[in-house]
Amino acid sequence: MGPHRPSRRAPPPPPDPDAGLWRGRSVARRFVSPDGMTVLVGRTAADNDVLSLQLGAPRDFWLHVAAESGSHVVVRNPEGLERLPRETERLAAALAARYSKARRGGRVAVHVTTCAEVSKPRGLPPGQVVLGRYRTVHALPGGQRGPGDDRGEGGKGGERREPPKDEGDAKDEEVP
């Protein structure tokens, strides 16, 4: 055996979920809700996968516009809240609508769940996921502009929904 050669590449920096960083690069736009929660919005279809499946913790909240492609939105939930505060949900749903193909469509349906309910079966294209249990809210595209928010419209991606397991799984709610 020859002499051990040191690796030429340094290991990637650790992920920073609160900043939306994965392997040293930004995969999400970062916003702070009126309630002080971190809201991350995916930039591209591949970034959506990283955000939803790698950076998002199981109890983090996950939002995506229904039946259209658009950015995945993850709301960090370090306190393990059972439900998003109203103003945070309103902002996150508006951002999901804004960074989607439905952004010019007026009021749109947005699915809300946790990252634990988001999965990606083998073979799905980048950005496309399957949801377990979720509920649906309605929102107008909007949201405040944040740092790094001037790079054009958000990531691509979509979702496929499994049918609700029972009638109580999917609920429509209005977010004023």
Q: Give 114-166 pLDDT, tens digit per residue.
A: 999 999 999 999 999 999 999 999 999 986 444 433 333 333 344 444 443 33
The pLDDT of residue 12 is 83
The pLDDT of residue 7 is 62
Between residues 91 and 7, the one the model is more confident about: 91
Q: Give 7-52 pLDDT, tens digit per residue.
A: 678 888 889 899 999 999 999 999 999 999 999 999 999 999 999 9
Q: Give 68-78 pLDDT, tens digit per residue.
A: 999 999 999 99
Cα–Cα distance, 149 to 165 (Å, whole number): 37
Give per-residue burial for 59-96: e unless 16+ CB within 10 Å, then b.
Answer: ebbbbbbbebbbbbbbbbbeeeeeebeeebbbbbbbbb
The pLDDT of residue 90 is 97
